[in-house]
Structure 1
Amino acid sequence: MDTKDISIIKRDGKTEEFSPEKIKKAITKAFMAGGLLNEERLIDGITKRVVKSIEKKLISVEEIQDIVERELMGSNPYIAKKYIIYREWRTVERDKRTSMKRIMDGIVKIEKNDVNLSNANMSSHTPAGQMMTFASEVTKDYACKYLLGVKYSRAHRNGDIHIHDLDYYPTKTTTCVQYDLDDIFERGFHTKNGSIRTPQSIQSYATLATIVFQTNQNEQHGGQSIPAFDFFMAPGVRKTFVKHVATEIEFAVRLNGGKPVDVKKLRKALSPVITSIELCKKAKSAAIKAAQKEGASLSEKEFEAVLAQALENTRIDTHQAMEGLIHNLNTMHSRGGNQVVFSSINYGTDSSPEGRMVIKELLLATSEGLGTGEVPVFPIQIFKVKDGVSYSDSDYEKAINDFEGAMSGKIKFEAPNFDLLLLSCKTTSTSLFPNFLFLDTPFNKHEKWDINDPKRYRYELATMGCRTRVFENMHGEKTSFGRGNLSFTSINMPRLAIESMREAEENCPNADKHALRREAKFLFMRKVRDMSELVAEQLYERYCYQRTARACQFPFMMSNDVWKGGMALSPTDEVGDVINSGTLGIGFIGGHNAMVALFGEGHAHNKEAWDTLYEAIQTMNEVVLSYKRKYNLNFSVLATPAEGLAGRFTRMDRKKYGIIEGVTDREYYVNSFHVDVREPVSIVEKIKLEAPFHAITGGGHITYVELDGEAKKNVRSILKIVKTMKDENIGYGSINHPVDTCKDCGFRGVIYDTCPCCKSENISRMRRITGYLTGSLETWNSSKQAEERDRVKHK
């Protein structure tokens, strides 16, 4: 083979022209190290044999060195040994200068860098956090070198794609899951050290929910979500109410001088007849009779007093249970680095008195905040907006026309939970949560949903708070229950656009602007398709690896049927087809930046750019459809929630292409299909621009709007934004605004330099990063801090 046809793959993944002279120099050094000089003819012969042994046009440095070792061993074993020692020494010296060494040094020194700040909810400077960061960086390196296919490893390393959660790749675990707590609580569940029976009070329901969160978090690398929190907690409210009714009856009997009553027996007798915390006349009569059978006689008036006190006690218990849930999920560390559970809860459509009490007390507890009033970071809360249940147009008009009356409870609404939607808007104005999920958006509807079905929540979409959406299913019921995302990988969309434009300029040197853009767009679409196919194959490779995991690697998730189907496995069984209900996400980042590379401006004001970005994502969906058929798996397009990735791609592209105005000139790429954070568009414009992309990103999406000033002073505007999102078919949305808290006195509001109450400078500045909140902006990496500084406020 002609040496001019051979290319070398260097250790950093780059290629260069093959040079026999470099081989000769390396062999010469080995001879010199062995004390053999003037062996030019022998060295030339070995060099020629090495070159002759190369049988392919693309070969790695390591492969060439293996050939050299083999030829030296056949010629002079002593010199071969010297060469091997020299090669090993060079490897060690090279490792000392590698990025891995620099990364480890940065972790040891607790530097404020993007490795240590890669996760805004982890304290990487604690001993456990350092160990987790060490492990993360080492396992990423291991996965790239030994587990990934060569072309996927190279694409990730070079910045063409980003394989998310690469550090967890060797563990074979999945990303996230949504719990069917109804099933888990009804059966009870077990952990390593024992079993847990069905809870009997709202406090136990809430506590066990946090235990499920914490336990399962250790078996996955992503988030954990409860898809119907209000429905799942409601039985606990009823059980608590029955307990209080029995206790109050016993107290009333003693107060009247009656004989002692067995409270346990009384509870057991009352439970079948008290099916709600709001009793009709018939149920009240049945309850009085049941109490009489247990020796407790009360008049109707006395029983009414018992019910009123029991209801208030139940409300207090429910409020305390919701407080406990919030405090536990912000303090229970389930991972190294003081990292709490990445938790999400969906609610809003249980219109039963018990479900409504759960929602109301949860929202009130959220507004109250943590110990000194701090905004809770977790759980991420998602309010489900549903026609006829939590929303109606007529209710909206009533509220807008008399907002003060609506908020004070003076107006009767036709949708039973519309008042809770108003309370959600108020809570969002102070605490940034809940976000809003729109169940009537066409792609979020389920054909089996029926308002008369007591378990209709099984047919309601729920989401992970960051944005991951799991709903459609090729292997079972369309649902969010008992399944999650398996893995996702993101495409560097700006790079594809940059390279397309450069190729177009080479192909059409004399073309005018319009012809050049047409050629660049054609090349861009082809590259988007090719890269999407590469990612799809990479995701399939990872899926094949994940399915070889043993059930015993995920003892809680599988044996408790948290991931549906896992209970049927024995500990030594491979998870296999059980996980085929999960999703595989082809993500992307930098849609805005890519459009600037092609058209000189983003898609907010350039219709051709908007159409091109939409077409590109549709092209990704065509690949998704093709691979669904090919592998019979749930591929989807994901609007990537980029945190560390937003800066990683940008740094790599700036180094490769230089500074391109509007593309690589900032520290970050704009998330997924989002309008540029600096774009001064109105609230309605931003929602209208982004809404169509929700329908074509079935793996997950979110749209934010940024408000200025203190949103708590204008709850009406939040309700208007929610309606606009609903009307424009947003799938999942949220509302951002500044929330600052004085750490000394607890004042919460917009704080500029010092607290207006106590003049303290000790201020926590809460902001949303990708879908979740963080304790302080200081914990964000440099790229996301830069993005936050650039965010304009929408009017």
Structure 2
Amino acid sequence: MINSKELKDFVSSVFIIKKDGKRERFDINKLARSLINSGVNYKDIDFIVNEIQKKVYNGMTTDELKENIYKILKKIDRDVAENYYRGIILRVRTSNNQFEPFDKEKIVKALVREANADINIAKKIADDVERELKKMNVRYLTAPLIREIVNYKLIEYGLEELRHNHTRVGIPVYDITRLIKCGNRENANLLHNPESIHKWVADEAMKQYALLKLFPKHIADAHLKGDIHLHDLEYAATRPVCLQHDLRPFFKYGLKVDGTGLHTSVSKPAKHPEVAIQHAAKVLMAAQTNMAGGQSIDEFNIWLAPYVRGLTYEKIKQLMQMFIYELNQMYVARGGQVIFSSINLELEVPDFLKDKPAIKGGEVVGTYEEYEEEARMILEALLDVMLEGDALGKPFLFPNFIVKLRENAFKNENYGLLIKIHQLSAKFGIPYFINMFPEWQKINTNAMGCRTRLSADWTGDAEKDTLRTGNMQWYSINLPRIAYEAKGDDDKLFEILNDKLELVKEALLIKHKITLERLYKDKILPFLTQKFDGEDYYRYEHTTKSIGFVGLNEMVKYHLGEELHEKEALKFGVKVIEYIREYTNKLKDETGLRWSVTQTPAESTAGRFARLDYKYYKEETLSVVRGDLNDINSLYYTNSSHVRVDAPITLSEKILVEEKFHPLCNGGHILHVWNIERRADPDVLLDLTKKISKRDIGFWTYTKNLTICENCRKGYGGLLDKCPNCGSESLAKYSRITGYLQNINNWNPAKKQELKDRKWWI
């Protein structure tokens, strides 16, 4: 009988005859590896190797060897035996839900195509990945799994840049399940429904794409760490933000909602008022497919005035009712929401439009100066519709209802309209006011959403500066963190601030370049680039690139030990925002682009910055952050340059503080007069409006909190816990979040905490 040593010596001298006739020394280690790759359990390897050593002989063919191994394996595990005998056939479930044999050449091609990898490196990675896959006991592979293993190998080889370009974006299964069950609270206008779930999933993929592909690592890292905030990341690759519409081109030439007329029906210019109203609503609906933010129509009642000449007031009211319901029932905007819309309205025809041709049905029908009475009737009809509310008595949440107050606003002939406007404020807290009295407001100024603003301060041409253009994008700076890092040093603070401004500038220039490509190279925004009289509808060259900021109050509190409503802190706060404004003014000269400073609405950013600072600068944050420290999600900073919502000051003192910043924030600003329900008297509010209009406040609104009983449908001022009429606790509560009214059930925890903290101002 041969002993084990003799057997090993014999086996080591054995040669196997390969299929091509060549001789190869029998290798026990190679045999063991092939068995492992076939899925053989480690504990069975020694037994199989020993059995084969007893059967192998000099001159044995590979087929004979394979047949012997197969017979032994069959006694242990038939499936493993079949794997071995046929050779391991890896199958891959592809992205189009088909099964294909694994092909490592696809890895090579992908690495070369997607990551610009050297062909030899790509082949080496592919070989390694194939070996790894064969070790796995996985019958069917997926493309994402293979990509993960490729990326792992790239990291293993120190090829981080290649991995960065080759990575896959997506969202974990757990997170999708959570979205389906619980929804998301980043945008209060986005309700929990099947469409919003799809949007949130798509948004996450596009956000990852933007951070991986569009922005360089230092900008992406600054966003992720909370130094800055890149708003609307999900749209960074595809579209700009806000747009201020002019209805005249559509009333003159007709409507192509797809911008080309090739995919949808084309309408001739509206001849009848009902059609004009529908076209106005459809312009907002169509444009939101090309834009990320608010859609607004400036001079709304002026453009429509020619269409209502000769109509009774009741007919005009019915038309306005149709428009308001269109905007509140077109449940078709991104992710299943109504369109985030605004209309800017006039008490009189402004001077810059008086001699302009009035358009109706494709024809000129005089000048707009001739239609002032019709414009006033449209405004009054809109007010009556908004005052009535919907069928259940709820307020119409859209459009944002913006009234411009020009030099003749407070004349006696406007008293009736002004009282109705303030009745609407007293009942629902809906209207916004643009104060055109300060000289810095120029010929025309308008608003497009929460506060984004255009004024005739760019070329001096009111139409080019404020119509058919908008805000390309705004990105924001975390001001409190700058104070934490400066540690009380003024020079250091402004040095760090300048560094953050440079980051935001770079990010905005990247977005500018991307948007130019989407508009004019890829041509995926056809509604914006459709031409009227040889000119693109969208005046992109006049769009604003805006730098926003969050937490000025907390910055000065940490830096000086005072808050914004205190004398020295206010002086320093103004100095900070003046620095930002001077920076943007210099950028205009350097780049030829339109730069501005905006008060960031910060619906989610105020909470995000606070949470990140609590994580990375906990000790510093404790002395300034707002919210409940036992609930991290409730933490927040004060929006932009506002005083904190419960500052121990009067409304007059608040105005004196916040008016310092409105002329500086030429990209957008707002004064919030919170919680007016205790004294919601139209005459009191009108008197307050007259006083505010004498100050440097450019844009403001009165917020009235509301409770609507879902049982008896009655409405009450204030945020109640029980219906006074029927005792029901099933209540819908409404208040203004940053710049629009919405049900507070849809708010994020930080904004809910801010709501609790808001002070009664009048």
Superposition TM-score, scaled by structure 2 size: 0.72
1:237-256 Cα shifts (integer Å, max 9, x gaps): 11x53xxxxxxxxxxxxxxx
Partner of 1:177: 243
5 Å matches for 1:545-624?
A: 545-551=514-520, 552-559=523-530, 561=532, 565-566=535-536, 579-605=540-566, 607-624=567-584
The sequence identity of aligned pairs, in percent, is: 30
Partner of 2:757: 790
Partner of 1:162: 229
One-letter amino acid of the counterpart of residue 697, structure 2: I
C-alpha change, 1:597 and 1:112, in structure 2 (3 Å) is farther
Distance 1:122 1:72 in 2: 46
Distance 1:792 1:349 in 2: 32
How far is the alpha carbon of 1:84 from its aligned partner?
10
3-state SS, counterpart of residue 436 of structure 1? strand
For the Cα contact (< 8 Å) 1:72–1:79, is it kept in 2? no
How far is the alpha carbon of 1:377 from its aligned partner?
0.7
3-state SS, counterpart of residue 473 of structure 2? strand
3-state SS, counterpart of residue 616 of structure 2? helix
Q: Does 1:391 align with 2:410?
A: yes
Distance 2:418 2:639 in 1: 28
How far is the alpha carbon of 1:534 from its aligned partner?
1.9
How far is the alpha carbon of 1:764 from its aligned partner?
1.4
Which of 464, 482, 492 in structure 2 is aligned with 1:523? 492
1:512-536 Cα shifts (integer Å, max 9, x gaps): xxxxx4x2x2211221122112211
Partner of 1:197: 268
How far is the alpha carbon of 1:99 from its aligned partner?
14
1:648-673 Cα shifts (integer Å, max 9, x gaps): 11111100011533423531111000
For the Cα contact (< 8 Å) 1:73–1:80, is it kept in 2? no
Partner of 2:421: 424
- Report the RMSD for the aligned CA atoms in angstroms: 3.3
How far is the alpha carbon of 1:716 from its aligned partner?
2.0
One-letter amino acid of the counterpart of residue 355, structure 1: A
Partner of 2:379: 359
One-letter amino acid of the counterpart of residue 374, structure 2: E
C-alpha change, 1:763 and 1:88, in structure 2 (3 Å) is closer
Which of 434, 441, 445 in structure 1 is aligned with 2:438? 441
Distance 1:77 1:127 in 2: 40
One-letter amino acid of the counterpart of residue 359, structure 1: L
3-state SS, counterpart of residue 764 of structure 1? strand
Which of 120, 132, 150 in structure 1 is aligned with 2:188? 120
Partner of 2:369: none
Partner of 1:188: 254
1:299-340 Cα shifts (integer Å, max 9, x gaps): xxxxxxxxxxxxxxx211111111111111111023243211
How far is the alpha carbon of 1:715 from its aligned partner?
1.6
C-alpha change, 1:99 and 1:499, in structure 2 (3 Å) is farther
Partner of 1:225: 296
How far is the alpha carbon of 1:358 from its aligned partner?
0.5
Which of 694, 709, 721 in structure 2 is aligned with 1:727? 694
For the Cα contact (< 8 Å) 1:215–1:556, is it kept in 2? yes
One-letter amino acid of the counterpart of residue 417, structure 1: N
One-letter amino acid of the counterpart of residue 494, structure 1: P
C-alpha change, 1:428 and 1:645, in structure 2 (3 Å) is same
Q: Which moved more, 1:759-768 or 1:162-171?
A: 759-768
Distance 2:551 2:502 in 1: 19
Distance 1:76 1:179 in 2: 53
For the Cα contact (< 8 Å) 1:585–1:635, is it kept in 2? yes
For the Cα contact (< 8 Å) 2:426–2:676, is it kept in 1? no
For the Cα contact (< 8 Å) 1:639–1:700, is it kept in 2? yes
One-letter amino acid of the counterpart of residue 437, structure 2: D
3-state SS, counterpart of residue 643 of structure 1? coil
Partner of 2:729: 761
Distance 2:540 2:381 in 1: 36
One-letter amino acid of the counterpart of residue 342, structure 2: S
Distance 1:187 1:144 in 2: 41
C-alpha change, 1:698 and 1:88, in structure 2 (3 Å) is same
Partner of 1:326: 324
How far is the alpha carbon of 1:80 from its aligned partner?
8.9
C-alpha change, 1:81 and 1:111, in structure 2 (3 Å) is closer
One-letter amino acid of the counterpart of residue 410, structure 2: Y
For the Cα contact (< 8 Å) 1:120–1:780, is it kept in 2? yes
Partner of 1:486: 472
Q: Does 1:151 align with 2:218?
A: yes
C-alpha change, 1:73 and 1:656, in structure 2 (3 Å) is same
For the Cα contact (< 8 Å) 2:602–2:639, is it kept in 1? yes
3-state SS, counterpart of residue 462 of structure 1? strand
Which of 382, 387, 390 in structure 2 is aligned with 1:370? 390
For the Cα contact (< 8 Å) 2:445–2:456, is it kept in 1? no
Q: Does 1:464 align with 2:530?
A: no
For the Cα contact (< 8 Å) 2:407–2:437, is it kept in 1? yes
Gaps of 5+ in 2: 1-35, 43-110, 136-146, 156-162, 258-262, 350-371, 628-634
How far is the alpha carbon of 1:78 from its aligned partner?
7.1
C-alpha change, 1:99 and 1:755, in structure 2 (3 Å) is farther
Gaps of 5+ in 1: 1-32, 36-61, 242-313, 393-412, 447-459, 502-516, 568-574
How far is the alpha carbon of 1:747 from its aligned partner?
1.7
5 Å matches for 1:393-412?
A: none
Distance 2:179 2:667 in 1: 36
How far is the alpha carbon of 1:201 from its aligned partner?
3.5
Distance 1:131 1:213 in 2: 22
Q: Does 1:135 align with 2:198?
A: no
Partner of 2:7: none
Bigger radius of gyration among the two: 2
3-state SS, counterpart of residue 367 of structure 1? helix
How far is the alpha carbon of 1:419 from its aligned partner?
2.4
One-letter amino acid of the counterpart of residue 106, structure 1: D
Q: Which moved more, 1:460-469 or 1:703-712?
A: 703-712
